[in-house]
Amino acid sequence: MKIRNTPPILIIAIICSLLLSNATSAIDKGDKSITTPQKTKERMDMVKKMKLLEILDLDSSKSEKFLQKYCVFEKKIEENRKQQRKVAELLDDQLRKMNKGDDGKKFAPVNDSLLALQEEFNKLICEKQKTLKPILSDVEFAKYLNFENNFFKEFFGSYMDGKKKHKPDMPAIDKNKIKPKTSTD
């Protein structure tokens, strides 16, 4: 992110967020610094917003408008995801408790509920994009769409690459040295 073009309010907000997350993690260190999934999600969301703003390189007024609307939709989308998880857990429980002779009629309301939540999720995504498009130029919007489509793949790809590098003394397998078994072996 270019510091000279970054709005001072944004820099202060990012610094405050980092300090707050460091302060809360310092408090948690008494508990062997175990991070909760919620804290991990919050940190990931913060990284996502920072990376997005870095890529878009917006002026201060645009970045404020963009972030306000972006955050509103992200909250709605996250709430929908939570509801979907609850309904999916209910469906999972019902499937585990199902008897062989069940006709499956008890699944219909839960299926319909999950389907409705998934449709609402898709509408929220489209509404978010339609709301953000007028704020951004065509090039900025293209960068935004590209970022949204690739963020999790790249984030988790780099995360998994880091995990692979940290495995203790795991020998690499050379596929060229593995000989296929033949009938004479």
Q: Give DSSP secondary structure letters for 71-126.
A: HHHHHHHHHHHHHHHHHHHHHHHHHHH--TT--STTHHHHHHHHHHHHHHHHHHHH
Q: Is the pTM of this model over 0.85?
A: no
Q: What is the pLDDT of residue 175?
A: 47
Task: Give the number of C-alpha atoms closer than 13 A to the C-alpha of residue 159, restricted to the C-beta side.
Answer: 8
Residue 104 has a pLDDT of 75
In whole angstroms, how large is the CA radius of gyration of the chain? 23
The whole-number pLDDT of residue 95 equals 87
DSSP letter at 47 equals H
Q: In terms of pLDDT, which residue wins out, 177 or 142?
A: 142
pLDDT of res. 98: 81
What's the CA gap between 112 and 118, in Å, rounded? Answer: 10
Interval 34-54 mean pLDDT: 84
Lowest mean pLDDT among 66-80, 105-119, 160-174: 160-174
Mean pLDDT for the chain overall: 78
Residue 88, amino acid: A
